[in-house]
């Protein structure tokens, strides 16, 4: 499925099929980090805990002067009606060719393939950038739904990172 990248008000927007990933700039992330909707209509009324945590990472990166547009948090938005379902994004800009991703869905959106679709689109975009050669992800050992997301996209499990299971993706499967 074709991934379309565009910009809206200075925000990167990645659209693929039934979803759009809308970049949350530091000012948006500041609202999300306080549990506010940041001009989005959330399926469960407010962003989920993981999305709030990712927003805090974006705010911290901005305050530290290391935030780079395109390499932070994106809201997962259902294109059908514009409803925000969760968040997906990077733990920071590429470092020696690697970026790490994370994702979180609102409770009501879980189990319907949204995390897989969002993470796949984000990985596809990342691996098309010249400074990225590998996408990394980690899960807790008991988080089978998250592991299934990574496996469906084509990630391979590699050496664990402490208590976390680690995964890598270097190419997008056909």
d(CA 163, CA 174): 32
d(CA 58, CA 167): 23
Q: pLDDT tens-digit profile of 117-143?
A: 999 999 999 999 999 999 999 999 999
In a domain, 81, yes or no: yes
In a domain, 153, yes or no: yes
pLDDT at 35: 87
Which contiguous run of DSSP H or E holds residue 136? Answer: strand 134-139
Contact 83, 76 (CB under 8 A): no
| Segments in 64-172 forming alpha helices (H) | 114-127, 144-153
pLDDT at 173: 85
Q: pLDDT tens-digit profile of 67-113?
A: 999 999 999 999 999 999 999 999 999 999 999 999 999 999 999 99
pLDDT at residue 174 is higher than 80: no
pLDDT at 120: 97
CATH number at residue 66: 3.40.630.30
- Count of structural domains, the chain: 1
Q: pLDDT tens-digit profile of 7-63?
A: 999 999 999 999 999 999 999 999 999 989 999 999 999 999 999 999 999 999 999
Label each residue of 8-51 as H, E or C: ECCEEEEEECCEEEEECCHHHHHHHHCCCCCCCEECCCCCCHHH
Contact 92, 67 (CB under 8 A): no
φ/ψ of 101, rounded to 5, equals -110, 160
In a domain, 174, yes or no: no
pLDDT at 62: 95
Q: Which domain holds residue 116?
A: 4-169
Q: Specify the 3-state DSSP secondary structure of 144.
A: helix
């Amino acid at each position: 499925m074709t991934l379309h990248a565009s910009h809206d008000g200075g925000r990167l927007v990645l659209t693929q099929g039934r979803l759009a990933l809308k970049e949350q700039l530091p000012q948006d992330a500041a609202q999300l980090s306080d549990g506010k909707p940041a001009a989005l209509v959330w399926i469960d009324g407010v962003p989920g805990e993981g999305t709030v945590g990712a927003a805090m990472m974006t705010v911290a990166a901005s305050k530290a002067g290391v935030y780079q547009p395109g390499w932070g948090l994106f809201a997962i938005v259902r294109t059908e009606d514009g409803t925000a379902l969760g968040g997906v994004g990077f733990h920071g800009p590429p470092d020696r060719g690697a970026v790490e991703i994370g994702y979180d869905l609102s409770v009501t959106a879980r189990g319907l393939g949204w995390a897989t679709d969002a993470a796949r689109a984000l990985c596809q975009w990342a691996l098309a950038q010249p400074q990225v050669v590998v996408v990394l992800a980690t899960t807790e050992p008991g988080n089978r739904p998250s592991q299934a997301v990574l496996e469906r996209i084509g990630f391979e499990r590699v050496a664990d990172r402490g208590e976390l299971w680690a995964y890598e993706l270097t190419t997008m499967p056909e």
